[in-house]
A and B are shown apart, each in its own frame.
Chain A
Amino acid sequence: MTTPEDEIIRSRQRERARVTALLLGAFVVLLFFITIAKTGINW
Chain B
Amino acid sequence: MSTLEMSNPAALPADWRDFLALTKPRVMYLVVFTGLCGLLVAPVQLPFVLGFSAILCIALGAGACGALNQWYEADIDAKMRRTASRPLPAGRMVPESALHFGVGLGFFSVLLMGLATNWFAAILLAASILFYVLIYTVWLKPRTAQNIVIGGAAGAFPPLIGWVAATGHMSVLPLLLFAVIFLWTPPHFWALSLFVRSDYAAAGIPMLPVVAGFESTRRQVLLYSLPMAASALAPWALGLAGVLYGASATVLSFVFLVLAARVAASGATEPKDMTAEKHLFAYSVFYLFALFAVLVADHFLA
- What is A's interface to B at a CB cutoff of 8 Å? 5, 8-9, 12-13, 15-16, 19, 30, 33-34, 36-38
Contacts and interface: CB of A to CB of B under 8 A. Distances in A.
16 contacts: A8-B12, A9-B13, A12-B12, A12-B14, A13-B13, A15-B16, A16-B13, A16-B16, A33-B49, A34-B49, A34-B50, A34-B53, A34-B115, A34-B116, A37-B47, A37-B50
Interface of B: 1, 9, 12-16, 47, 49-50, 53, 56, 115-116
Contacts of B13: 9, 12-13, 16
A8 B50 CA distance: 40
A23 B140 CA distance: 35
Contacts, number: 31
Given A19-B16, A30-B53, A34-B49, 19 more contacts: A5-B9, A8-B12, A9-B12, A12-B15, A13-B13, A15-B15, A15-B16, A16-B15, A16-B16, A30-B49, A30-B56, A34-B50, A34-B115, A34-B116, A36-B49, A37-B49, A37-B50, A38-B50, A38-B116
A9 B1 CA distance: 10
Nearest to B56: A30
A27 to B, nearest CB: 9
Nearest to B10: A5
A16 B9 CA distance: 18
A42 B15 CA distance: 42
B31 to A, nearest CB: 20
A9 B116 CA distance: 37
B122 to A, nearest CB: 14
Nearest to A29: B49
A15 B115 CA distance: 30
The 3 A-B residue pairs with the shortest CB-CB distance in the complex, in nearest-first order? A37-B47, A33-B49, A19-B16
